[in-house]
Amino acid sequence: MKLKCLILLVSLLMQIGVCAQGTLKLNAGESFTYEFSSVQLVGLTFPDPPFLTYGSLGCFFSPASVPGSTMLWEMFATSVSDSPIASQVVGVPVFPQPPNPPPIYANAGWQDLQGIVRLSTLTGSATLSQVRISVVRSEAGNLFRYSSLVPIPEPKPFVIFCAGGAFLLVTRLARKWRHKVAVPQNNFSLR
């Protein structure tokens, strides 16, 4: 009985842990737009297919996503009212081991290190755990890579508090259970 209770509490803690990390959940018809005016320098890089200089957008799905859902990823240079410099419809992968979709690229996109990203869910429900924007551009005859994570909404303080409380409860029950199960020790010696 105690083992079943402990397993139940551990699985509950794991579910709360998934909720406690920052994620972006978009249901069908919802979208998230992010405008950026700088991207962090990573360092020198080498030519990387598909283009010599480019902007790219990559997203990582959370296990909370509904498999089979579809999203539209769009990259804009200056305004969402302009045509996108790149766009792609992406399907949510099947979990537990998702092959996250490859990033989308815009040839010579975002070379001024600013732009706009719009992520829209077309069907189903998609939850993103990470969104990354990257730029490779030529400077003084060398290629430099810039990359930043898009800030996604953080979890509510209540969820973090519940995750901490559940963790403390599980560790306390595990400690109690461990002390009640005595492991017999052999008291013999070799002569």
d(CA 90, CA 82): 21
Q: What is the DSSP letter of 3?
A: H
Give 99-138 pLDDT, tens digit per residue. Answer: 678 899 999 999 999 999 999 999 999 988 889 999 999 9
| Interval 66-90: pLDDT, tens | 888 999 999 999 999 999 999 999 9
Q: What is the pLDDT of residue 18?
A: 47
Q: Which CATH class is domain 22-153?
A: mainly beta
What are the strands, taking DSSP E only, across 31-160? 31-36, 41-45, 54-61, 70-76, 86-91, 104-107, 115-123, 125-139, 142-149
Domain edges within the chain: 22-153
Please tell me the predicted confidence (pLDDT) of residue 19: 47
The whole-model pTM stands at 0.68
